[in-house]
Amino acid sequence: MIAQLAGEVVRKDSRGIVLDVHGVGYRVRLVKEHGDKLKLGAKVSLLTHLAVRENALDLYGFENAEALDYFELLITVPGIGPKSALAILSLAAPPVLRRAILADDTTYLTRVGGLGRKNAEKIIVTLKDKLGRPRADESGLLTDEVEAVEALQTMGYTLAEARAALKRAPTEATGVEDKIKAALKLLGTNRRRV
């Protein structure tokens, strides 16, 4: 199994990157946010998961062990394949996903994580025992996130824009108001670039 790759980004597209490792190009699928940050010519080291199917070998790359661990947990859920797991991690960072699962919060997973109710329930049932007990600092944060998404949507932003901005918001932004302010700063910056 290919567990890690280090090389130069020689191509980027909507499906991921091609990483040149000593003259061999590996196509690697990435979490959208991570792929967006990488520039052509950048030297990068990725932890990887090789998904073996009947007609394909697909590499999925991650910038840290936590993201890889959650990816591998998600693909143990019946009905969640590697592409779905990567899409989930593109919408909800591992700590947020953990809080949602431990809180049995299907509403969060369906509204912010972009999942259907049935898959959200499967994820909770399958992974809750594997994640341990919730920590004291994890209570109440999901409600804030859901409310912030709803507020941004009422301001005219799409669900995808709201999710992406909240995911990139600094961790110091706690509470609904702080999350919305941080997201609006990011959304305003993105709109000015267009």
**Of the candidates 54, 60, 55, the residue with the CA atom closest to the CA atom of residue 15:** 60
pTM: 0.72
65-136: CATH superfamily:
5' to 3' exonuclease, C-terminal subdomain (1.10.150.20)
**Surface-to-core class of residue 123, CB atoms within 10 Å of its CB (0-12 exposed, 13-18 middle, 19+ buried):** buried
pLDDT at 72: 95
pLDDT at 113: 59
**Of the candidates 28, 40, 104, 105, the residue with the CA atom closest to the CA atom of residue 68:** 28
Structure tokens at 172: 């110091």
Say which CATH architecture domain 4-62 belongs to.
Beta Barrel (2.40)
Q: Is residue 80 a contact partner of residue 122, using CB atoms and an 8 Å limit?
A: yes
pLDDT at 168: 78
Q: Length of the chain in residues, anyone?
A: 194
pLDDT at 193: 39
Helix (H, G, I), strand (E, B) or coil at 170: coil
Residue by residue, pLDDT tens for the chain (194 residues) are 799 999 999 999 988 999 999 999 999 999 888 888 899 999 999 999 999 989 989 999 999 999 999 999 999 999 889 998 998 888 778 888 888 888 888 877 786 556 788 988 999 999 988 887 655 455 455 667 777 877 888 888 887 788 778 777 777 777 788 888 888 888 875 554 33
pLDDT at 192: 43
Structure tokens at 128: 């809750």
Measure the CA–CA gap between 120 and 140, rounded to whole angstroms: 19
Q: What is the DSSP letter of 130?
A: G
User: Where along the chain do its domains lie?
Assistant: 4-62, 65-136, 140-193
